Amino acid sequence: MINFKRSDTYDISMEQALLEKSLERAGLTRNESIVYLTLLRLGTSKVSQILQGSNINSGKIYEILESLKLKGLISESIINNIRHFTSATPLHILEYLEKKKREFKKNEDAIKSFIPEMEKLREVTPKFSKAITYTGFKGMKTAVDEAFTTLHAGDEILTMGITEMKDKKINKFWEIFTQKRILRKIKAKHIFSERGWYFKKFKNMKYTQSKVLEAFTPVAIDIFGKDKVLIHNYGKPELISCILIYDENTAISFTHFFNQLWKLAKS
C-alpha cells in the first residue's frame, strides 16, 4: 500500500503518477489506469466528461472502457438515454489480481502437462550438426540447461579442464548443477587441473568420479552424452563465452581424447 504524506507543496500529479504505475504493475495498461483513476475521482460520468478529465484520445476511449468492464473494474448504466460509467471499488483490483493468478496457475499446469509431448517433438527432429555461441553468465546457464535436458538416468557427462581458479559465482553454479545431476542419477567423470579444495568437494559425491591431471587449462570441455560438446572460456561472469556443439562425431573425438587423459590422470 502507498502512503502519501501530503504537504502544502505536495504535487498532486506525483500521486497520480504513482497510482498509475501501481495499476500498470497490476496488469492494466497506462490508458486503462488513467481512465480508472479519472472515474474514481469524478464518480459516475459520461464519456465526454471522462475524456475531458483524462485527456485520452477519443478514438480509443470505448475500447478502454470495454476492457475495464471485462476486468470488472467499471460498470455501465443508462441515465436519460446517455451512457454513464462508474468505477468499481478499488478492492476489485485485488479480486482482479486473484483471478489473474488463478488463470496463470491454470496455464502453468497446462504447459507442464504438455512438456513431455513437446520434448518428444525435439527428439524426433532430424539430427544435424550445429554450433551455438553463448555469452555471459546467463548465456552459460542456458547452454548448460540446453545440453542437460536431453540426458537420462544412466547417461554420462565427461568434463576436463576443471579449475577452481575462476569466479566464485561460476564455481557455485557448478556445485548446484551437480546436485541436480545427482538427483537425476546421471553419472560424471571429472578431470581437475589442480588438487585443491574444489577437487576435494567433488571427489566423494555420488555418481561422480574425479581425477587430477595438473596442467594449464584456459578452457574447460564438457561432453554431454553421445552428441553434445560444450567448450567454456571462463573470465569474469559478464565476459564468459561458450560454444555448444551438436555433433556426434565431435563428441566421439572428444570422448576418445578424454579417455586418454583419464588414463594419465591420478586419483
Residue 118 lies in a domain: no
* pLDDT value of residue 124: 52
Residue 29 grid cell? 495498461
> CATH number, domain at 148?
3.30.870.10
Residue of higher predicted confidence among 241 and 59: 241
Per-residue confidence (pLDDT) for residue 77, from 0 to 100: 87
Q: Are residues 164 and 40 in the same domain?
A: no
Q: 193 near 213, Cβ under 8 Å?
A: yes
Residues 79, 187, single domain; the answer is no
Q: In the prediction, which pLDDT does 4 show?
A: 40
The alpha carbon dihedral of 188, 193, 198, 204 has a sign of: positive
Task: Please count the structural domains in the chain.
Answer: 2
Q: What does the chain come to in residues?
A: 267
Contact 132, 143 (CB under 8 A): yes
Where a domain ends, among 37, 69, 91? 91
In the block, residue with C-alpha cell 551437480:
178
Residue with cell 502507498: 2
Do 167 and 244 belong to one domain? yes
Q: What is the pLDDT at residue 7? A: 45
Give the separation between CA 145 and CA 45, rounded to whole angstroms.
54
> Are residues 260 and 146 part of one domain?
yes
Look at residues 91, 121, 151 and tell me which one is the last residue of a structural domain.
Answer: 91
Residues 147 and 240 in one domain: yes
Query: Please, which pLDDT band fits residue 3 given cuts at 50, 70 and 90?
Result: very low
User: Residue holding cell 532430424?
Assistant: 126
Report if pTM > 0.85: no
Given a cut of 80, whether residue 211 has pLDDT beyond it is: yes
110 lies in some domain: no
Residue at 67 is within a domain: yes
Q: State which residues form the domain around 200.
A: 130-264
Do residue 253 and residue 141 come from a single domain? Answer: yes
C-alpha atoms less than 13 angstroms from C-alpha of 101 in its C-beta half-sphere: 7
Strand 156-162 with 187-192, pairing:
parallel
Residues 40 and 163 in one domain: no
My answer on whether 81 and 151 are in the same domain is: no
CATH code where residue 30 lies:
1.10.10.10
Q: Do 137 and 242 sit in the same domain of this protein?
A: yes
Residue range 121-133: mean pLDDT, rounded:
68
Tell me whether residue 96 is in a domain.
no
> Residue 161 and residue 222: Cα distance in Å, rounded?
9
Measured CA to CA in angstroms, residue 236 lies from 134, 147, 174, 239, 241 at distances of 14, 22, 15, 5, 10
Confidence category of residue 128, pLDDT binned at 50, 70, 90: low
